[in-house]
Amino acid sequence: MPSCKAVIFDLDGTLCYTFEDILTSMNETLGVLSYPQITRQRLLEIINNGSKNLVRKALPGFAADDESLFSEAYDLYDAIYALHCADSTTLYDGIAEAVSELKAAGLRLGVNTNKQDGQSKMLMAKLLPKGTFDFIVGAGEIYPVKPDPTAAVDMVTRLGIKPDETVYCGDSDVDIKTALNAGMFPLGVSWGYRDRAVLEENGAGYIAEKPSDIVGFILK
């Protein structure tokens, strides 16, 4: 790839460990609606594709197929998760230092996530210093969810940076596909919600074992 000028990060499973708050919020939602709870394993299977897909796949079949019941469940989950998204969520060890080094090196930084936009911005404001990122784009009404590359391409283009001058960093097949769809370098991380093999199978150009590996690879 050409010299790197920007790095885009996924949020869940890449910058932050968000799993417990998502699981708690989802099961609280299902409990209010008198639906069966989901297991940790089931959540791992359905995470990464956006909150609407997450809720639909967590519901029993009859509710997932009924748009009225689905909308009720989604609105409830969205409200509950907004209250609890920062309860136990933390940055992965070494992420703050890695992000700081990349920023100090003059790279433009962004976040592109399938998490709800408002909650994404709130978490980043809580966990990292103001101004760390040039943009934070979550799921909403403006852009389609990943692996559609529209948001990622639009954000770097607005900064005057080409997609092929950008590293896209994430923990899942969704992120690797997003990077490739955007014409960006696909950098996987091994500490998230998907196995290393999933990243390799989907075309990761490099896989970081720890956050400092991201810095070493980009600034080498």
List, in order of start, the domains of the chain with CATH numbers: 6-17+89-218 (3.40.50.1000), 19-84 (1.10.150)
| Rg from Cα positions in the chain | 17
CA distance 197 to 71: 35
Name the residue type at position 167: V
| pTM of the predicted structure, to 2 decimals | 0.94
Q: Rounded to 5 degrees, what angle do the CA atoms 180, 181, 186 make?
A: 20
pLDDT in tens, the chain (220 residues): 668 999 999 999 999 999 999 999 999 999 999 999 999 999 999 998 889 999 999 999 999 999 999 999 999 999 999 999 999 999 999 999 999 999 999 999 999 999 999 999 999 999 999 999 999 999 887 899 999 999 999 999 999 999 999 999 999 999 999 999 999 999 999 999 999 999 999 999 999 999 999 999 999 8
